Structure 1
Amino acid sequence: MSSFHFLLHLTIFLLVFHQKFSFPSKQTTLFLPLKTTLGRPPLTFSRNSELSSAAATNKLGSHHNVTLTVSLSVGSPPQNVTMVLDTGSELSWLHCKKTPNLNSVFTPELSKSYIHIPCASPICKTRTRDLLVPASCEPNNKMCHVAVSYADASSIEGTLAYENFVIGSSIRPGFLFGCMDSGFSSNSDEDSKETGLMGMNRGSLSFVSQMGFPKFSYCISGFDSSGVLLLGDTRFSWLKTLNYTPLIQISDPLPYFDRVAYTVQLEGIKVGNKMLDLPRSAFLPDHTGAGQTMVDSGTQFTFLMGPVYTALRNEFLQQTREVLRVFEDPNFVFQEPMDLCYQVDESPGIEAFVIDHHHQQNVWMEFDLVKSRVGFAEIRCDIAGQQLEMGL
């Protein structure tokens, strides 16, 4: 069988402007290694056993649910935890109840600095105002009950609490987080490997908001499992001048518009060297707020709304018509079902464009909360990580 290499460039265009910025004279910057965790091993297939029972197994490099994780310490004395970095979420939370399927949990009983938030506290209502599910009162212990849900139908709930979060030598006492004790995961085997989630959106409860950093940056390597997360300014001689795009904000609340997400204006999509023939209105939110474009590190794949996805799919098929072939070899038996196309049910559908972390690989991403903008520049993220480790 002949082999070939076909490279398809899918480019997402944003409205950008070039601007150099001044830095505060005194600004603390914290550096954390960012790890890419592969959720499951590669798919495997082997020759039909009737033809060759001793044939070696071949592996396809395909992974599902790749997550970005950071490690830090929580509590007094500190307990090591691993958290998924998610710019699409607000509430940071940790698994607090040991179950057979969880590999890592935070044990509040072992911490002297852990404090439950009672539902009678004003904090239970005022600090959770941006959460999609309103906080409630647990009937058995009168503690502040919080619950969050995600687009893949996963959900988790527990108690709002204070605790010390430690990053390097910096301690943030009185950090508000969710101490979760129950939930449902659509990928329980994979999600059980992490202790919790680090919410990094613009909400008042997010990790970056509570830590008080005016900006943060991350860089995801496309060459290995390494990456970096920086909390604070980014003044490095080896980093190119960043291009910036403003964050979109609305004054009136709309049912399907996430006001604390990192929403940018999508200007167009290019497949290979061809720009999709779509009106600008195709990338604008409608009167309900559906159709915003969000930058989300917690999502592996980019999601497009129906008409835009259809246009991209048609152009992709047009450009690959003479290259791609259906794999029809009866001598191979696949371990799992495979399909040429990626299918999503039309109902309930999606309500937003989402730029995933695959499209952010080897791009320095800066989120400026003070100036309400997102900056980016191409860079080898594995090399950037090495520079930071050397203190350059």
Structure 2
Amino acid sequence: MPPPLLACLLLILLSPAAARPRSVAVEAPGPAARPRVFPLRARQVPAGALPRPPSKLRFHHNVSLTVSLAVGSPPQNVTMVLDTGSELSWLLCAPGRRANASAPRGASFRAGASRTFAAVPCGSAQCSSRDLPAPPSCDRASRQCRVSLSYADGSTSDGALATDVFGVGDAPPLRSAFGCMSSAYDSSPDGVATAGLLGMNRGTLSFVSQASTRRFSYCISDRDDAGVLLLGHSDLPFLPLNYTPMYQPALPLPYFDRVAYSVQLVGIRVGGKPLPIPASVLAPDHTGAGQTMVDSGTQFTFLLGDAYSALKAEFLKQTKPLLPALDDPNFAFEEAFDTCFRVPAGRPPPSVRLPAVSLLFKGAEMSVAGDRLLYKVPGERRGGDGVWCLTFGNADMVPLTAYVIGHHHQMNLWVEYDLERGRVGLAPVKCDVASERLGLML
């Protein structure tokens, strides 16, 4: 998890998955392991569905990526957010054997109903993890390990560090540690029937590490129901992946998140024009601040101030003939997005004519174009015009000390995390096409 000065990433609020829940499948060791495919959902959800830890921004309108899992014995179907920017998986746990009657179906885990549920004792190695933002503590009375989440409103939530079995398809069930949290949640009609978060970074308590999964990948669709998540190894000849190495400094640095999926940003282009950004601005400094993280749990992308200013100036210049700028120095959507435009109400912006923004890495690039460039600010009007903002935010306004690439800019892009070779692979692809091809292959 990020150190304190990185603790402002956007919490992507949790959403229901419409598909029938399916078990997580984790690869067995060895070259013959068969990868597993299951749906990855993207949904817009209301604010307030679950508490927000300070490591994620409190946005009012968010999209989450959710997967459906089977946990416990007998198995309980739960829906969790897939977050490559977090370590500790956690579930909202009902206080007794029965779920809260006011909660949506699947919105909590009934720990007392699982015969394989076990609290982690204080003396265990898991209770001594140094990767979590707040170290676990010991309940002296019960001698059980406790974990805490601190929320953006200043409140906290405590829970037991526990283990239980996660369904792994036709492989043996996986026993995994997670936080069994007792936080309140929104049970209104607009609430979200989601039980928790699946931590997928490189920390010792992440699901990836505990499952010994050395490669996983996903495709985030621009539709709600066509995403796909693949756990395990697979050769995908129809996906010509370009790889960029994960970046790791030789020595520990105070503001470098060592368990994040960090890559090296080397340049940015707008409409094919390179921005005049010094290489030193795009690289981590001597403290570790300035790393670039790929995060499925953040919606939009954040650039540090100097890079953002260069992007803003060039994007406004190239779009001047197409869109009138908002020209309101006092307005910033969610306090970080101030490159905004006026678009007549009821009309979409001219997306196909907007200049693409390309993020350049060593050996790979990510191009953001069309509908992914602008976001309509809900409820914001200027006369007869709506307000649309560029989906790149100014990290300095949050503040953040890192570049963060959110999942909105990973749509229709195959993203592979290869921990064996220390690299991230990227390939443009339509997710529905990839899903069909994977169905035929696997």
Q: Quick check: 2:395–2:403 contact (8 Å CA) kept in 1? A: no
Q: Which amino acid aligns with 2:200?
A: M
Q: Could you say which residue in structure 2 is the equivalent of 1:228?
A: 228
**Which one is further off, 368-377 or 190-199?**
190-199
Query: Residues of 2 paired with 1:356 and 1:330: CA distance?
Result: 27
Q: Could you say which residue in structure 1 is the equivalent of 2:71?
A: 74
Q: Which amino acid aligns with 1:279?
A: P
Give yes or no for the alignment of 1:107 onto 2:150: no
Q: Which amino acid aligns with 1:337?
A: E
2:410 alignment partner, SS class: coil
Shift of 1:252: 2.2
1:1-392 alignment, distance < 5 Å: 25-40=31-46, 64-97=61-94, 102-103=103-104, 104-125=107-128, 128-148=129-149, 156-182=157-183, 192-237=192-237, 239-325=238-324, 327=342, 336-338=379-381, 339=387, 349-391=399-441
Q: Number of paired residues? A: 343
Q: Quick check: 1:363–1:380 contact (8 Å CA) kept in 2? A: yes
Q: Quick check: 1:305–1:352 contact (8 Å CA) kept in 2? A: yes
Structure scoring higher RCO (CA < 8 A, sep ≥ 6) equals: 1
1:33 alignment partner, SS class: strand
> Which of structures 1 and 2 has the bigger CA Rg?
1
Shift of 1:154: 8.9
Query: Residues of 2 paired with 1:183 and 1:133: CA distance?
Result: 20
1:336 alignment partner, SS class: strand
Q: Could you say which residue in structure 2 is the equivalent of 1:20?
A: none
Q: Could you say which residue in structure 2 is the equivalent of 1:54?
A: none
Shift of 1:31: 1.5
The TM-score with structure 1 as length reference comes to 0.79
Deviation per CA, 1:321-376, whole angstroms, max 9, x where unpaired? 12113549899xx9833556578695661110011112211111110111111111
Deviation per CA, 1:78-118, whole angstroms, max 9, x where unpaired? 00011100111111111103668753100000000000012
Q: Which amino acid aligns with 1:119?
A: C
Q: Quick check: 1:36–1:227 contact (8 Å CA) kept in 2? A: yes
Q: Quick check: 2:304–2:394 contact (8 Å CA) kept in 1? A: no
Q: Which amino acid aligns with 1:216?
A: F
Deviation per CA, 1:180-215, whole angstroms, max 9, x where unpaired? 112799xx9988431111111111111111111211
Shift of 1:226: 1.7
User: Structure 2 vs 1, CA of residues 154 and 191 (structure 1 numbering), >3 Å: closer, same or farther?
Assistant: farther
User: Structure 2 vs 1, CA of residues 29 and 179 (structure 1 numbering), >3 Å: closer, same or farther?
Assistant: same
Q: Quick check: 1:224–1:382 contact (8 Å CA) kept in 2? A: no
**Which one is further off, 359-368 or 165-174?**
165-174
**Which one is further off, 303-312 or 248-257?**
248-257
Deviation per CA, 1:284-340, whole angstroms, max 9, x where unpaired? 111221110000011110011111111111111111112113549899xx9833556
User: Structure 2 vs 1, CA of residues 222 and 73 (structure 1 numbering), >3 Å: closer, same or farther?
Assistant: same
2:252 alignment partner, SS class: coil
Shift of 1:387: 2.2
Deviation per CA, 1:122-169, whole angstroms, max 9, x where unpaired? 3311xx221111111135533211124588989654111110000323
Q: Which amino acid aligns with 1:179?
A: C
Q: Which amino acid aligns with 2:416?
A: E
User: Structure 2 vs 1, CA of residues 354 and 153 (structure 1 numbering), >3 Å: closer, same or farther?
Assistant: farther
Q: Quick check: 2:302–2:394 contact (8 Å CA) kept in 1? A: no
Shift of 1:216: 0.5
Query: Residues of 1 paired with 2:415 and 2:436: CA distance?
Result: 17
Query: Residues of 1 paired with 2:151 and 2:226: CA distance?
Result: 26
User: Structure 2 vs 1, CA of residues 213 and 330 (structure 1 numbering), >3 Å: closer, same or farther?
Assistant: closer
User: Structure 2 vs 1, CA of residues 153 and 27 (structure 1 numbering), >3 Å: closer, same or farther?
Assistant: farther
**Which one is further off, 322-331 or 112-121?**
322-331
2:112 alignment partner, SS class: helix
Deviation per CA, 1:43-80, whole angstroms, max 9, x where unpaired? xxxxxxxxxxxxxxxxxxxx921111111100000000
Q: Which amino acid aligns with 2:168?
A: I
The TM-score with structure 2 as length reference comes to 0.70
Residue ranges of structure 2 left out of the alignment (5+ in a row): 1-28, 48-59, 327-341, 347-376, 382-386
User: Structure 2 vs 1, CA of residues 358 and 341 (structure 1 numbering), >3 Å: closer, same or farther?
Assistant: closer
1:385 alignment partner, SS class: helix
Shift of 1:377: 1.2
Query: Residues of 2 paired with 1:89 and 1:384: CA distance?
Result: 26
Q: Which amino acid aligns with 1:283?
A: L
Q: Quick check: 2:174–2:211 contact (8 Å CA) kept in 1? A: no
Taking only the aligned residue pairs, the percentage that are identical comes to 49
Shift of 1:269: 1.1
Query: Residues of 2 paired with 1:152 and 1:230: CA distance?
Result: 35
Q: Quick check: 2:304–2:396 contact (8 Å CA) kept in 1? A: no
Shift of 1:388: 2.3
